Amino acid sequence: MKALLICEYREGKLLDSSYELVAFADRLGADRAMVLIGSEAEAPRVNGTVYLADAAKYGEYNPDLHKRIVLAAVERENPDYVVFVHSSYGWDLAPRVAARLRAGQVSEVVGVVDGKLEVGLCNAKLRRTVTPKSAKTVVTIQAGAFSPAASPQGSPRIERIDLADTASALEFVGYEPAEQKEVDLSRAEVIVSAGRGVGKKENVAVIAALAKAMGGELGASRPVVDAGWVEHSHQVGTTGQSVSPKLYVACGISGAIQHLAGMKKSDFVVAINKDRDAPIGEVADVLVVADVMQFVPALTAKLQK
């Protein structure tokens, strides 16, 4: 069994998530080869073949060209699995490759059990195992789900891929920066975060009051930021900030794995949630089963005494 792992390269750097792909292949027990559209200096530190195409020529992302480079590597390696990280890059590119290969695709895999792929379902409350029936399968893995080796070592055998035709219907116009980070949560010792369980925008003030009473900063989960209740600079998780405070209090946060990946390095985690089965319980040291809007004011009041 063989897996072709598609590395990710952004702003001139190989992303560490590329080593999560290696961890996934190891869990699957698959031989591996990798593809990097980047630069040789940034080649992943692994043994085995790395197909390298130059980002200076093909862009950090161009769907037409990157698809053709991946397909060229697929042709040479004939892998059983083609694996991406479930980031915006894999999100866009994986289904293009799957469609071209007429392969089944399994998105956002969180685990491997007996060679079967596990994916989350219904906001990670459930999991399902998916069995591919096609000859090749395209997979995206959830960021943070497969822990890579602490210090990857190895020397790749570089094979270059060049496309004869670099025409593309898509015209890259430019990048725009995301909103500035106004709050630096990475240095906070105490973070109190609001999740969807707070119910509505007006209720965020109640969580902010608890954060103040505990001498900490306000954090938030992605749904709350997406809904416009809290500024993006407060977001904790893979698309926000990664944090490692002494104390993390999750208020009404069910614990999507992207959020967990951003806060699981906290020393001590308190979860306040009405659902005792919510995935946040997986990383919480202490769980209070309650409606946040009933419990948090009581807690703040006691702290202020």
Report 229-288 residues binding other proteins (CB under 8 A). 239, 246-247, 268-272, 274, 276-277, 279, 281-288
Among candidates 55, 53, 22, 52, which has minimal Cα distance to 153?
A: 22
Least spacing, CB of residue 151 vs other proteins, in Å: 24
Stretch that binds other proteins, among 34-42, 72-80, 122-130, 149-157 (CB under 8 A): 122-130
Given 126, 150, 164, 167, the residue binding other proteins (CB under 8 A): 126
Q: 274: which residues sit within 8 A by CB, 6+ positions away?
A: 197, 252, 289, 290, 291, 292
Nearer to other proteins, 31 or 291 (CB): 291
Residue span binding other proteins (CB under 8 A) among the ranges 40-48, 76-84, 116-124, 149-157: 116-124
Q: Does 108 bind other proteins (CB under 8 A)?
A: yes
> Cβ of residue 175: shortest distance to other proteins, in angstroms?
5
**CA–CA separation, 244 and 78 (whole Å):** 42
Among 183, 214, 231, 242, binds other proteins (CB under 8 A): 214
Handedness of CA 76, 77, 83, 87 (dihedral sign): negative
Q: Which of residues 174-193 bind other proteins (CB under 8 A)?
A: 174-178, 190
CB of 216 to other proteins, least distance (A): 10
Query: With contact defined as beta carbons under 8 Å apart, do 39 and 46 qualify?
Result: no
- Residue numbers 46-65 binding other proteins by CB under 8 A: 61, 63
**Rounded CA separation 72/114 (Å):** 30
Distance CA 57, CA 20 (A): 26
Nearest alpha-carbon partner for 132 in 117, 146, 121:
117
